[in-house]
Structure 1
Amino acid sequence: MSSNLGLFLLFLAFNLKPLEELLKEIRSCIICKGQLPNFPRPVVQASAESKIVIIGQAPGQKVQNSGIPWDDQSGNELRRWLGVSKEQFYNDKLFALVPMGFCYPGKGNSGDLPPRSECAPSWHQPLLAEMKEIRLIMLIGQYAQNYYLSDIKNTTLTERVRNFRNYLPSFLPTVHPSPRNKIWQKRNPWFEYEVVPFLRAITTDILVH
């Protein structure tokens, strides 16, 4: 290694932004080592300039393997709802992708296990605190909604999604875009005609202003 390169790397090491340091810590996290089917590989995307934060559940095995958040059928459906391209979606200055659990939790009796409970209390607050341009936080699924929304004990996920305007402008609760929820969508056709157009409109408004 040349002395100039060494000095340059040293300069970078001492001039990392707080968020960059935090993301490095998150991606190195092994709190759940031994409790997961794979070696920990936390999956997250964020920037200090992120405008929309998407808080989901936890990566599936495919995403765990690729290390790319929402790199699956659920991600395709989510991007359709939002009306954005992959290029836009993976631009961390536009979207922060922050799951409730950063690693794949493993299989349960009926789908994946719940997100590990250690992740959100350890990392969400410091992570969100470093993002100064947030305009909207999407809460996808019951785990994110139960964690972030108050006074929802007597409400169902369906009620929260249908009455999403009650939680604006800070939060927007929605169902998970998993193919497993196609049955839910068929039972609740209003989602496609009411919520999806709103999602596209608010996303476009935020990203262009």
Structure 2
Amino acid sequence: MQETQILNENTNISEIQVYCFIVGISWAGLWLPIKHVYQSKKYSKKDEVFNELVAYNKNNIFEIAGRDLGLLNHKLLCTRVFKPVNGIEGLWLKYIRKKCVLKLCNVDSISDEFHHKSLKFEVGKELAQGMVGLSYRDHSIHIDLDLTTNNYNITEAQRTKIGNIGFLSTVPIFNKDQSKVVAVIAVDSVQKLDLNVIQKRKWEDSLTRYAAFIDKHIKL
């Protein structure tokens, strides 16, 4: 660089190195936050579009199913997601109290608004609370056309939270090897239903498709 007269004999190389280092750090400090904000907005937009697609597909499935069920409005069908309590509390419940607790969770574009903050169901060796507990224990779909006529071992507090739900269906979601239930999807309506054998079979098919759709696109 001295030969090209960019630097001369009096140039302090150490100072130039320090200046270059400072400029490099300053540039990184400026560029990285900008890049982070850009990436955050990009992923946020992708999440927003994905959630809209999930909600759109959910609406289509229920619109078709609602016609088969004879519902006045398919939007009367509401979805709840229940997942086993995990972590230290889950281990304590499993090995000390010998039971599993399924807790109401909110899943974007899937869960509908619920009028209480929490709702739980217990599953033990001798007792399974609610249809949610039954689906978890039996690994099967359960459908009740008139929920008010059955108790399902629930407490008065749970019944109060459930409120005026008349029709309820529950379907389990399994892990990859189908050996464990990772969540239970509940679809309910305040409207009681009177389904014939064919309608009930169609609804079971709709539930199966809906569960498969959730399992494929949503990480539970």
TM norm. shorter chain > 0.5: no
Question: Which protein has the larger Cα radius of gyration, Structure 1 or Structure 2?
Answer: 2
Instruction: Give 1 or 2: higher strand fraction.
Output: 2
Normalising by structure 2, what TM-score?
0.29
TM-score for both structures, normalised by structure 1:
0.30
Q: Which has the higher contact order (CA 8 A, sep 6+)?
A: 1
